[in-house]
Chain A
Amino acid sequence: MAQTSVLTAAPPPAEYEEQAAPALRVRGYWASVGYRLGHDPMTVVFGIVVLAIVFSAVFAPVLAPYDPYRESIIGRLKPFGWRGHMLGTDELGRDLLSRLLYGGRISLLMGVVPVLIATVIGGSLGVIGGFAGKRVNTIIMRTMDVFYAFPSVLLAVAISGAMGGGIGNGMLALSLVFIPAMCRIAETATAQVKNLDFVEAARATGAGTFTILRFHILGNVLGPVFIYASSLVSVGILLASGLSFLGLGVRPPVADWGLMLSTLRQSIYVNPVICALPGAAIFVTSICFNLVSDGIRSAMDVRL
Chain B
Amino acid sequence: MITYILRRFLYAIPIAFGVSVVCFSLVYLAPGDPLQTILPSDASADTIAMVKAAYGFDQPLPIQFLKWLGRVLTGNFGESIATRRPVILEVTGALRNTGTLALFAVPISFTAGYAMGALAGCFPGRIIDRVVTGTAVIGVSLPNYWFGIVLVIIFAVQEMMLPATGMGANGSTAFSLFSLADLRFLVLPVVTLSMIPIGIIARSTRAAVAEVLNQDFVTTLRAKGLGEIAVIRHVLKNSLPQVLAVMGLQFGYLMGGSILVETVFTWPGSGFLLSKAIINRDVPVLQGTILFLALIFVATNLLVDLLQSMIDPRIRRS
Question: Which A residues contact B (CB, under 8 angstroms)?
Answer: 1, 3, 5-7, 142-143, 145-147, 149-154, 157-159, 161-164, 234, 238, 241-242, 245-248, 261, 265, 268-269, 272, 275-276, 278-280, 282-283, 286-287, 289-291, 294
Report yes or no: B298 in contact with A149, Cβ–Cβ below 8 A: yes
- The answer to whether B141 touches A286 (Cβ under 8 A) is yes
Q: Given contacts A150-B294, A275-B153, A286-B142, list 14 more A-B pairs with CB under 8 A.
A: A3-B228, A146-B18, A146-B22, A151-B253, A151-B257, A153-B253, A158-B286, A245-B260, A246-B278, A247-B279, A272-B153, A275-B149, A279-B145, A290-B137
Task: Spot the interface stretch: B23-31, B70-78, B85-93, B181-189.
Answer: B23-31
Q: Find out whether the CB atom of B145 lies under 8 angstroms from the CB atom of A149.
A: no
Taking each of B26, B257, B279, which has the highest tally of chain A beta carbons within 10 Å of its own beta carbon? B257
Partner of A151, one of B222, B263, B281, B293: B293
CA distance A42 to B290 in the complex (A): 41
Q: Which residues of B contact A (CB under 8 A)?
A: 14-16, 18-19, 21-22, 26-27, 29-31, 137-138, 140-143, 145-147, 149-150, 152-153, 157-158, 219, 222-223, 228, 249, 252-253, 255-257, 259-260, 263-264, 274-275, 277-279, 281, 283, 286, 290, 293-294, 297-298, 301
A265 to B256: give the CA distance in the assembly, Å: 23
On chain A, the residues within 8 Å of B150 by CB distance are 276, 279
Q: Which of A163, A245, A282, A287 has the most chain B CB atoms closer than 10 A to its own CB?
A: A245
Docked CA distance A112–B190 (Å): 30
When distances are taken between beta carbons in the complex, the residues of chain A under 8 Å from B146 are 261, 276, 278-280, 282-283
- Residues of chain A within 8 A (CB-CB) of B283 are 162
Complex Cα distance A280/B146, Å?
A: 8
| Residue among A145, A151, A159, A248 making CB contact with B256, cutoff 8 Å | A151
The smallest beta-carbon distance between A257 and chain B, in angstroms, is 9
Partner of A268, one of B149, B256, B293: B149
Contact between B158 and A272, CB atoms less than 8 A apart: yes
Q: A154–B294 Cα gap in the complex (Å)? A: 9
A6 to B231 Cα, complex, angstroms? 13
User: By the criterion CB–CB under 8 Å, are A162 and B29 in contact?
Assistant: yes
B234 to chain A, nearest CB (A): 13
Contact B256 A154 (CB under 8 A): yes
Q: List, sorted by A's number, 27 A–B pairs whose CB atoms are closer than 8 Å.
A: A5-B222, A142-B14, A142-B18, A150-B290, A154-B259, A157-B278, A159-B29, A163-B29, A163-B30, A163-B31, A164-B31, A164-B281, A245-B263, A248-B278, A261-B149, A268-B149, A268-B153, A272-B157, A272-B158, A275-B149, A276-B153, A279-B145, A283-B141, A287-B137, A287-B141, A291-B137, A294-B137
**Chain B residues whose CB sits within 8 angstroms of the CB of A152 once the complex forms:** 253, 257
**Once bound together, how far apart are the Cα atoms of A152 and B252, in whole Å?**
10
Q: Taking the nearest CB of chain B, how far is it from the CB of A254, in angstroms?
A: 19
> Which residues of B lie under 8 Å from residue A238 when comparing CB positions?
141, 143
Which A residues touch B263, using CB under 8 A?
245-246
- A238 and B274 CA atoms in complex are apart in Å by 19
Also in contact, A282 and B18, with CB within 8 A (given A150-B290, A158-B290) = no
Given contacts A162-B30, A162-B286, A291-B137, contact A150 B145 (CB under 8 A): no
Contacts of B27 in A (CB 8 A): 162
**Nearest 4 CB-CB pairings of A with B:** A279-B146, A146-B18, A161-B278, A287-B141
Tell me, in angstroms, the Cα distance from A7 to B153 when the chains sit together.
56
Residues of chain B with a CB closer than 8 A to A245's CB: 145, 260, 263
A290 to chain B: which residues have CB within 8 Å? Answer: 137, 140-141
Contacts of A161 in B (CB 8 A): 274, 277-278, 286
Q: Are B19 and A269 in contact (CB under 8 A)?
A: no
Contacts of B274 in A (CB 8 A): 154, 157-158, 161
Q: Which residue of B lies closest to A3 (CB)?
A: B228
Whole-angstrom distance between the Cβ of A246 and the nearest chain B Cβ: 6
Q: Which residue of A lies closest to B250 (CB)?
A: A151
Closest residue on chain B to residue A145 by CB atoms: B15
Instruction: Report B216 CB to chain A, min CB distance, Å.
Output: 11
